[in-house]
């Protein structure tokens, strides 16, 4: 029968401590790995792990407001062009009341987009922002036609005015040259002074 010596007992105790430490380290590593995996899962899928997601922000803040503001900017640009065209005498026909109607539609689109709350709307109302955007595109296209016409008219008028002033400048310089050539003093200066007759005795 083997004799258990104090040295053997010490070795067994040391091995037991080492085993406990190793097992504890493995448990800590497994727990930490599980925590990291759960955290990554929470960040990747917040709706399915953390519960119901936060309400979506209103649609008008993300989509409707920008094109509504852009419409108002386009209307102001067209109105400025109309004022310049009216001052210059450019024929605008019925464009002024038509632009006023487009301005009214732009204001209505802006008001409707500001009053739509996407977080409370029903599923069937989610198509409403798309309808607003399509109407805004129609208004923007019409304003673009007016702006293009007025800008072209202004460019043509500026070209005509420039051609007129260039023609008058050329004519004026020719007249000035002709006047200078016909000036008697200029002729005398060119000939070196007046001719003197024969001296009398």
Q: Where are the domains of the chain?
A: 59-119+126-175
**Binning pLDDT at 50, 70 and 90, where does residue 167 land?**
very high
Rounded to two decimals, what is the model's pTM? 0.49
- The pLDDT score that the predictor gives to residue 47 is 47
Specify the CATH number for 59-119+126-175; select among 1.20.140, 3.10.20, 2.70.98, 3.30.70: 1.20.140
The CA distance from 17 to 4, in Å, is 19
Measured between alpha carbons, how far is residue 105 from residues 63, 73, 137, 139, 143 in Å?
18, 14, 11, 7, 11
Mean pLDDT of the chain: 74
Asked if residue 87 lies in contact with residue 143, where contact means CB atoms within 8 angstroms, the answer is no
* CB neighbourhood size of 80 (10 A): 12
| pLDDT score at 138 | 92
Report yes or no: 65 and 114 within 8 Å, Cβ to Cβ. yes
Least confident of 42-56, 67-81, 115-129: 42-56
Q: What average pLDDT score do residues 18-36 get? A: 74
Is 68:106 a contact under the CB 8 Å cutoff?
Answer: yes
The structure tokens 């109105």 sit at 79
The tokens 């503001």 sit on which residue?
A: 69
Q: Which residue has the higher pLDDT, 4 or 33?
A: 33
Q: Which range (84-98, 159-173, 176-190) has the least confidence?
A: 176-190
Instruction: For residue 149, give every residue at least 6 positions away whose Cβ sits within 8 Å of its Cβ, in sequence order, or none.
Output: 95
| pLDDT on residue 130 | 82
Is residue 74 a contact partner of residue 112, using CB atoms and an 8 Å limit? no
pLDDT of residue 131: 85
pLDDT at 17 over 80: no
Mean local confidence (pLDDT), 136-154: 90
Question: Which residue has tokens 């091995």?
Answer: 15
């Amino acid at each position: 029968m083997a004799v258990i010596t104090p040295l053997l007992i010490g070795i067994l105790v040391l091995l037991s401590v080492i085993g406990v430490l190793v097992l504890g380290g493995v448990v800590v590593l497994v727990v930490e790995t599980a925590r990291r995996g759960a955290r990554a899962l929470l960040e990747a899928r917040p709706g399915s792990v953390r519960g119901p997601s936060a309400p979506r922000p209103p649609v008008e803040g993300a989509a409707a407001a920008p094109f509504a503001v852009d419409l108002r900017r386009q209307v102001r640009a067209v109105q400025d062009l109309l004022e310049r065209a009216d001052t210059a005498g450019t024929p605008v026909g019925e464009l002024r009341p038509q632009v006023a109607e487009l301005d009214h539609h732009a204001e209505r689109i802006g008001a409707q987009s500001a009053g739509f709350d996407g977080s409370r709307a029903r599923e069937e109302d989610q198509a409403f922002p798309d309808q607003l955007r399509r109407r805004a595109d129609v208004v923007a296209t019409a304003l673009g036609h007016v702006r293009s016409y007025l800008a072209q008219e202004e460019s043509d008028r500026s070209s005509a005015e420039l051609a007129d002033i260039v023609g008058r400048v050329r004519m004026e310089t020719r007249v000035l040259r002709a006047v200078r050539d016909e000036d008697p003093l200029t002729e005398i200066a060119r000939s070196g002074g007046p001719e003197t007759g024969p001296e009398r005795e």
